[in-house]
Amino acid sequence: MAQPPERERIDKWLWAARFFKTRALAVEQLDLGRVLVAGNVAKPAREVKPGDEVRIRQGAEERVLVVRALSMQRGPAAVAQTLYEETLESRAARERLAAARRIAPEPALAIAHGRPTKRDRRVLDEQRRGKPGQIPGNWDDRWSAAWE
């Protein structure tokens, strides 16, 4: 049986630990600077060893992990979870963020439709200009970027 390596590339480790579906996605996130190892931006070839601290930012969430083991291949999720340990502060921060999302969800997610229809656009334009008998909204005057 092959011995597990003492060090492993961070892109392979992130893929094996199931943080990214493919190594290419892991490399892309590393190139964007969303993964830090020991407080430094990591490049894909950066090697990690057990005990290293890894920070991963995925969307609004940030995880702080401690590498516990290395794996030569990607395995089931139960095995992947043994490769790292999330810090208590990181877990608490993620739980607070999840609770805040439950209380006040992102407004953009509440939009059921995409672009406004022609009818919706007419209603919006009518509201901006003001209905007959109302004071006009002066929308164009307020938001104009024209030189005077």
Asked, for residue 94, whether it belongs to a domain, the answer is yes
Asked, for residue 134, whether it belongs to a domain, the answer is no
Asked, for residue 59, whether it belongs to a domain, the answer is yes
Per-residue pLDDT, 76? 93
CATH code for position 23: 3.10.290.10
Query: Could you report the per-residue pLDDT of 89-139, keeping only the tens digit for each?
Result: 999 999 998 898 888 877 777 777 778 889 988 888 888 876 655 555 555
Asked, for residue 17, whether it belongs to a domain, the answer is yes
Find all residues with CB under 8 Å of 72, minimum gap 6, and list them. 2, 4, 5, 8, 16
CB of 65 within 8 A of CB of 91? no
Residue with more model confidence, 139 or 58? 58
Per-residue pLDDT, 115? 82
Number of domains within the chain: 1
Residue 80 has pLDDT above 70, yes or no: yes
- Residue 107: both structure tokens together: 């407004």
Q: Which residues of 16-34 are buried (b: 16+ CB within 10 A; e: fewer)?
A: bbbbbeebeebbebbeeeb
Residue with more model confidence, 133 or 83? 83
Asked, for residue 148, whether it belongs to a domain, the answer is no
Per-residue pLDDT, 68? 93
Q: What is the strand order of the sheet 35-37 is part of?
A: 40-41, 35-37, 53-58, 61-67, 84-86
- Residue 59: both structure tokens together: 């969307």
Query: Could you report the per-residue pLDDT of 6-48, keeping only the tens digit for each?
Result: 888 999 999 999 999 999 999 999 999 999 998 899 999 999 9
Residue 140 has pLDDT above 70, yes or no: no
Residue corresponding to tokens 């057990």: 50
By residue range, what is the domain housing residue 32?
A: 8-106
DSSP letter assigned to residue 55? E
DSSP letter assigned to residue 82? G
62 SS3 class:
strand
Asked, for residue 113, whether it belongs to a domain, the answer is no
Per-residue pLDDT, 133? 53
Asked, for residue 111, whether it belongs to a domain, the answer is no
Asked, for residue 126, whether it belongs to a domain, the answer is no
Per-residue pLDDT, 112? 73
